[in-house]
Structure 1
Amino acid sequence: MTLTLEALPVELVAEILSNLDLKTLVTISYLSRSLHAICSDSSLNPWRRPILRNLLSPPYEECMKHLSVRSTVPRINRIEILSLADSSFLLFDSTLPNLRSTDWEECFSRRFLPGWKKWRKDSSWKETFMKVMHRVWHRSQTSCTVDESWTKYIVINRNGSANQLDASSRIFNPIALFNELKLQQNLMHLETRARLVLCLADVRILAFGTLNHPRSTLMVNPNAHALLHPPGIEKTHFGRPASRLHLPIADHGVYPMTEGHSNTAMYHPFDYDVLTHPAPAPGSHSAYPFYTPGGKDKRWLDDEDGLCWVGSLMLVAQILTPKTYETTPELVPLQDLDLVVGPGRLQYTSFTWSDLDAIAPWLEERITTKIDGPGLGI
């Protein structure tokens, strides 16, 4: 008895098809009615894996340009491409799909920071999506700041409060801004450390702080540690909710909780979910806030050395450019000066309260006071 491909269970056929390249899969999806039905089924979706392979390793296959308008490609894949693909590809090479307004809103929420919704005004979600896409592409290619004269950033203080500050976009320099913070806190003797918190499709979130072996816990910033190393998550947890692991949090001796936190917050891990709005870039931080294997997730690098975050922690949003990931031989990739020194690392955009709440919701109950502008909020 001869067993054909179409005689196999549809789940197994979909699994086999998902290992093909996109060009071959497009051809196979039209070979027969049964294969057409399998490829069109959103629950089976053999397209997701080859699409992600393309998104992980550009340049994309030629057939990606018009993939979004093929009837055999489920809608969710079109949303995924619009959420994660390179902006220049979407603007100048691809054919845009015909989506509902709610789908364009979903694409916007998955691709951009929540604070960027300020650009919508009276436009449709599709128009807003394309305008913001073109704006961020333009910012990635030039030093133009006409759309955003002032760039907002957030400082998380060691006393539990946080400030949303701003600086002129034309001369925005996070190293200079953080050196001013260090001078105010008498920490100029400590080296400035930069960490890549999260990478999205068009921007990456950077954290600037100082590390030391403090003599007293008074200088330690527990919220800085909690942002970079969410309580209850370890490197062995790949995309699993911490609440299902029932693991105690054992680092409060080094990073003491402030008075405002209850015993429940101290001993029961936050119910974490993999971030989807906005969606992390595939590969480097796809499991965020959980640890993502592969060597690009360096948020917890310093835990292994016994160092503590002291003083304030500053958060900024850096626009990705074609040269952002070009490495300098004498610098360690994806940490410290490599993140801010060199070509393609000079463009920044605003990072606001809504953006912080989106990427680190577990900090909401830990930050005691949110202050707009400088000061202590007294």
Structure 2
Amino acid sequence: MTSWIQRLAPPGAASVAGSRRAQMARAALARVTTPLLPDDYLHLANPLWSARELRGKVVSVTTETADSATIVIRPGWGFSFDYSAGQYIGIGVLLHGRWTWRSYSLTSVPDSSHGDKTVAITVKAMPEGYLSSHLVNGLVPGTVVRLAAPSGEFVLPEPLPPRLLLATAGSGITPIMSMLRTLRRRGERSDIKVIHSAPTADDVLFAEELESMAAEGLIDLTLRLTRESGKLSVDDLAAVCPDFLERQTWACGPGGFLDMLTAAYGDDDRLEQLHIERFALERGASDAQGGVITFGTPDRQVEADGATTLLEAGEQAGVLMPFGCRMGICQSCVVMLDKGAVRDLRTGAEHIAGERVQTCVTAAAGDCTLDV
């Protein structure tokens, strides 16, 4: 049995769900391995092989600055490397017996023909960041993580606009680095102005790489050190990039930075030229306080924090709800939200009463009631 399973070559770029060959293999395994699931045997052969979920193994954790690190992951069976530069990926890590999910921008180059077959994220440890601090300071090579497929609309168009402005602050540089690395590898050129803000020179992510891109003429780089010069203002922006309102602009960073840019482009009726990516967790940060979750009737309630999923909270309260993958893929755990609001832990998106929600990846954003 083991030797036969080992001969099953996992498809590199094809989706497991969409692969007829993978479906036939799983069906055959299911017939001969009952009552165990095919995943039980696949996991024995290789912990990255799974028919139900995307997995990956941490290859390396490399320090970038005092509070950030680049994490290289080798995805397993079913992962597609044909993502777009600028997209983000969901990562789930087992902490204290619970899978904790967050989304981070990919900093690697999408290339299905690249022999390395790895992806990378660069994470900044936030003081309030439960998972980010662990990823930067506690994650070790060899750790198996869960993955959600790359997604997001913060990508460059093809063909490239003739003039680009890439405006970032802090770790907002991460999706931009994937874009710049991709353009560099492809040998594509455009008039690209990069303006990046960070507190000090030691806090600038990818400083040497950005300088080398500037030296070779790929970008026109301006670094703004805010502890010396203050935060970037509209006047500062106009001084270093006088034609910024004429450029197609991609911007990522903290809320205040993006609000400043939105106001500047809005005042000149140029919002269609501004493309922004807000930090996923920041979008839901104000609603991340948790609350009292009611499971159908008032006699079935539990109070949970903003990091505990509805599914986990129900289990703690003795309310057993349907589930499958426990990572937001299979849709087995979907229920109706009767009252209140919940937040998707992977993306920060909020769902309100009247919507169907996935209990395995959402948490209470205030008091809420589920129709179960």
TM-score range, shorter chain: under 0.3
Whose helix proportion is higher, 1 or 2? Answer: 1
Whose strand proportion is higher, 1 or 2? Answer: 2
Give the TM-score of the pair, scaled to structure 1.
0.27
Give the TM-score of the pair, scaled to structure 2.
0.27
